[in-house]
Structure 1
Amino acid sequence: MKSSDRILTSHAGSLPRPEDLIELNRRRLDEEDYDQEQYAEELRQATIDVVRRQAETGIDLPNDGEYGHTMGAKVDYGAWWSYSFQRLGGLGLWTDMGHVPSAPAESTIQLSSFPERRDWNLFAEAYADPDSGIAVKAKSRADDPDQPGMSLPVVEGPLTYTGQAEVQRDIANMKAGMEAAGIDHGFLCSVGPGSASRIGNKHYKTDEEFVWACAEVMREEYLEITNAGLMVQIDEPSFAENWDQFDPAPSVEDYRRFTMVRVEALNHALRGIPEELTRFHCCWGSWHGPHVTDIEIKDIVDLLLQINCGSYSFEAANARHDHEWRVWEDVDLPDGKVLVPGVVSHATNVIEHPELVADRIARYANAVGRENVIGGTDCGLGGRVHPMVAWAKLEALSAGAKLATQRLF
C-alpha cells in the first residue's frame, strides 16, 4: 500500500485486550481449567470488535491487535515474542534467565543475558524501583509466582513449527473482522528469526546455525499469513535492540557483522513472498526506560534497507529518536519501498497533538516522497499504556494524517 492520494495510517501491532480475554489467557498460561470453546468464541468476537474499532478510528491498515498472541496480564512487554514459544517444537523450559545456555558465537561479540543490558545497569536503581515508572528487570514465575515474568525456553532438539492451527485461527478471526468492517487490507504480526533466537540453545552448534534454523521454522508462519492474502509484519526489535545487550559495547563494525547474519537469514525466510505483503518492524524495545544506550539509526539504516520487505515500520516519535528523521534526507529510498515511521509514541501517556503528528509525517514525506509514507506508531500500544490512552493516540494519528494530507496533497 502507498499513500497515493492521501496519507494512510497503520500501527505497530499490539492493542489493548479486553479484561475477560486477558483473564482467560492467564488461566491458559497458568494451566488452570478453562472453557476452550468459550476462549475461542471470546477471541473471535474480540478480534472482530478490535478490527472494526480500528477502521472506525481511521486506521487504514489494521490488524487483529495481536489478540492471538497470548497476553495474560494488563502490562506485558513480551507477548509479541513469547507467543512463539507455544508454536515451536523442540523446546524445554529454562528458569534461570541469568545463565541461559547459548551456542558459540562466530563473531567477536556475544549477547549478554537480559538482566545485563547496559541501560538497565547504568540506571540500576531506577529500574529496580517499582515506583519509578520504568520497567523492572524481568523475574521468572518459578522464582516468584506472585510477580509477572516469564520462564525462558531452551532449544533441546531440532526446531519445528507446530503453530499451524493457531495461525489459521488468527487468520480466520482477522478475515472475519475485515468482513465485518468492510475493509480489504490487514496484517498479522510474526516474530523474526533474530528475535526468535534470543532464547536458550542446547542443540545447535553455532549461533548462525541457530538463527537460520529459526528462520526456516518461522517461514512457515510467514507463508501461512501471506498465502491467505494478508500482510505479515516481521517483529524484529532485536535488529536495533541487540546493541544494548552487549556488555561492553561492541564496535559498530562488529555489531553490523553480527546483525547481517540475521538480515540474511530473514531474507532467506522471505524468499518468494511478494514484498508488498511484507513489513519489517524495528524498535529499541518497548520498555519505558532511559534508552541512552540505543544505537543510532544512521549506523544501521543501510542494513535495514537490505531486508527484502515492502515497508519498514520503526520508532520515530519518542524522545530518544524523534530527531532521526534527518537521516532519511540523505538516504535513497529504493523504488517501491514505503516507510511507516512512528508518529505517536507508546512511551508516554501524553496524547500527541494532531498538528505535531502532521509535522512528523511531513518531515518524512518531504524527505522520501509523500506517497512513500504511512503514519504509524512507535511500538505496540497494548500492554504499554492504558486502553483509553492507546485509543486516543490512534485517534490523534488519524487526525494528524488528515492534516498532513491537506498540507501535502
Structure 2
Amino acid sequence: MVTNSERILTTQLGSLPRSDTLLAMLMRIEKGEDIDRAAFRRQVEGDMTEVISKQAEAGIDIAGDGELPRIGFSYYVKDRMSGFGGVSKRGTVSDFAKFPGYAALKMAAVKASAGNDTELEESASLYEMPEAQQEVRYDTELKVVKEELDIFSSALDSTGHEFSRTFISAASPGIVSTTLLRKAAHPAYKDDRDYVMALAKELKLEYDYVVSRGHDLQIDAPDLAMERQIMFSDRPLGEFLARVELHI
C-alpha cells in the first residue's frame, strides 16, 4: 500500500453512480432476462472510462472502478458463487419504526425515482435477495471477477492517467452473511458461525485475485455497525457484539 508523508492521499468510497443505460441493463440481468453480453461489456467499459477520467480530474490519488458492473455492493457475490436461491427474510431498519416521518420521506423518494407503480414494484424486487440454501462455493475459474478487472485495466489504459494506486472493493464475509441469509435448517451449516467461516474461505479466492492483479483490496464491512439497526435491533447488545467479533 502506498503512503505519503507530505499529504493525505485521496480516494473515494467505492460504488459510483451508474448511467441510466447501464442501470437498465443491470435490472434486466437481475430479473433473469437475456441481454447482449457484448453490448453490456461495451457499456461498462465506456461508463468506467468516464468515471475514472472524472476521478483523475478531481485529483483522486487511489482510483477504483466504481463497482459499475455489480448490481449491489454485497449481494453481487450471488453471481459469483453457487449455493444461493429463494428469498432471504431480512428485517427492516429500526430507524423507520422510530421515525415514521423519515420512513415516509424515503418511500416518497423511491416512488419519485421509480416513476410509476410498476417500476416501483420492479425496483423493490431487486432488494429481495436470495438465501444460502446449499453449500456455498466460489467459481474457481473466477470468470466474473476476471472480467471486471479486465474492464478496469482497459479503462485505466484508455484514460492514460497515472494514479498513485488503484483499489477494488469486495464484500466482507460478515455483510454477505447478513444480507444473503443462511436458510433455516441448512443442510451444510448448523449455525451462522459455520456459514460465516465458509464464506470467508470461499471469498478469499476473490480477495487473493484482486491483490494478484496489483490492486489494493478494500473490504466493505458495514455490518459491523449497520446490523445493530436491522438484524439485532430487538436483541441484547451483547449478542450484537458477539456477532461483530465473529465477523472480524
TM over 0.5: yes
Alignment length (residue pairs):
232
Letter in 1 for 2:162: G
Counterparts in 2 of 1:46 and 1:132: CA distance versus 1, 3 Å: closer
Give the distance between the partners of 1:254 and 1:92, measured in 2 at CA.
27
Which residue matches 1:407? none
Which residue matches 2:131? 154
Which residue matches 1:191? 171
Give the distance between the partners of 1:254 and 1:232, measured in 2 at CA.
29
Give the distance between the partners of 1:27 and 1:148, measured in 2 at CA.
14
Contact persistence 2:63–2:163 (CA under 8 A): no
Give the distance between the partners of 1:194 and 1:223, measured in 2 at CA.
18
Which residue matches 2:117? none
Question: Superposition RMSD on alpha carbons, in Å?
Answer: 2.6
Give the distance between the partners of 1:191 and 1:44, measured in 2 at CA.
22
Give the distance between the partners of 1:89 and 1:190, measured in 2 at CA.
17
Instruction: State the Cα distance separating 1:171 from its structure 2 match.
Output: 1.2
Matches within 5 A, 1:88-237: 88-94=81-87, 100=89, 113-115=90-92, 117-129=93-105, 145-149=121-125, 150-162=127-139, 164-179=142-157, 180-183=160-163, 185-198=165-178, 199-202=180-183, 203=186, 204-237=189-222
Unmatched 5+ residue regions in structure 1?
71-78, 101-112, 136-143, 264-409
Give the distance between the partners of 1:92 and 1:254, measured in 2 at CA.
27
Which residue matches 1:261? 246
Unmatched 5+ residue regions in structure 2?
112-119
Matches within 5 A, 1:380-395: none
Matches within 5 A, 1:374-385: none
Counterparts in 2 of 1:126 and 1:50: CA distance versus 1, 3 Å: closer
When you count helix as a share of all residues, which structure comes out higher? 2
Pick one of 234, 240, 244 that aligns with 1:248: 234
Give the distance between the partners of 1:131 and 1:25, measured in 2 at CA.
22
Contact persistence 1:43–1:68 (CA under 8 A): yes
Which residue matches 2:116? none
Give the distance between the partners of 2:177 and 2:11, measured in 1 at CA.
27
Counterparts in 2 of 1:121 and 1:90: CA distance versus 1, 3 Å: same
Give the distance between the partners of 1:242 and 1:47, measured in 2 at CA.
31
Counterparts in 2 of 1:211 and 1:23: CA distance versus 1, 3 Å: same
Residue 224 of structure 1 aligns to a residue in which SS?
A: helix
Instruction: State the Cα distance separating 1:207 from its structure 2 match.
Output: 1.2
Give the distance between the partners of 2:153 and 2:193, measured in 1 at CA.
36
Letter in 1 for 2:103: Y
- Write out per-residue CA displacement over residues 44-95 of structure 1, whole angstroms, 9 at most, x where no aligned residue: 222222112201211111100111213xxxxxxxx1012112111011121x
Instruction: State the Cα distance separating 1:208 from its structure 2 match.
Output: 0.6
Counterparts in 2 of 1:187 and 1:244: CA distance versus 1, 3 Å: same
Letter in 1 for 2:100: A
Counterparts in 2 of 1:224 and 1:197: CA distance versus 1, 3 Å: same
Matches within 5 A, 1:311-330: none
Give the distance between the partners of 1:132 and 1:42, measured in 2 at CA.
30
- Write out per-residue CA displacement over residues 315-344 of structure 1, whole angstroms, 9 at most, x where no aligned residue: xxxxxxxxxxxxxxxxxxxxxxxxxxxxxx
Residue 80 of structure 1 aligns to a residue in which SS?
A: coil
Instruction: State the Cα distance separating 1:197 from its structure 2 match.
Output: 0.5
Which residue matches 1:85? 78
Counterparts in 2 of 1:178 and 1:92: CA distance versus 1, 3 Å: same
Give the distance between the partners of 1:21 and 1:201, measured in 2 at CA.
30
Deviating above 6 A after TM superposition, structure 1's stretches of 4 or more consecutive aligned residues are none
Counterparts in 2 of 1:255 and 1:148: CA distance versus 1, 3 Å: closer
Give the distance between the partners of 1:255 and 1:23, measured in 2 at CA.
37
Contact persistence 1:126–1:132 (CA under 8 A): no
Q: Does 1:30 align with 2:31?
A: yes
- Write out per-residue CA displacement over residues 248-295 of structure 1, whole angstroms, 9 at most, x where no aligned residue: 2523x44322211111xxxxxxxxxxxxxxxxxxxxxxxxxxxxxxxx
Residue 195 of structure 1 aligns to a residue in which SS?
A: helix
Which residue matches 2:63? 62
Instruction: State the Cα distance separating 1:121 from its structure 2 match.
Output: 1.4
TM-score, normalising length: structure 2? 0.84
Give the distance between the partners of 1:121 and 1:158, measured in 2 at CA.
35
Letter in 2 for 1:86: D
Contact persistence 1:127–1:134 (CA under 8 A): no
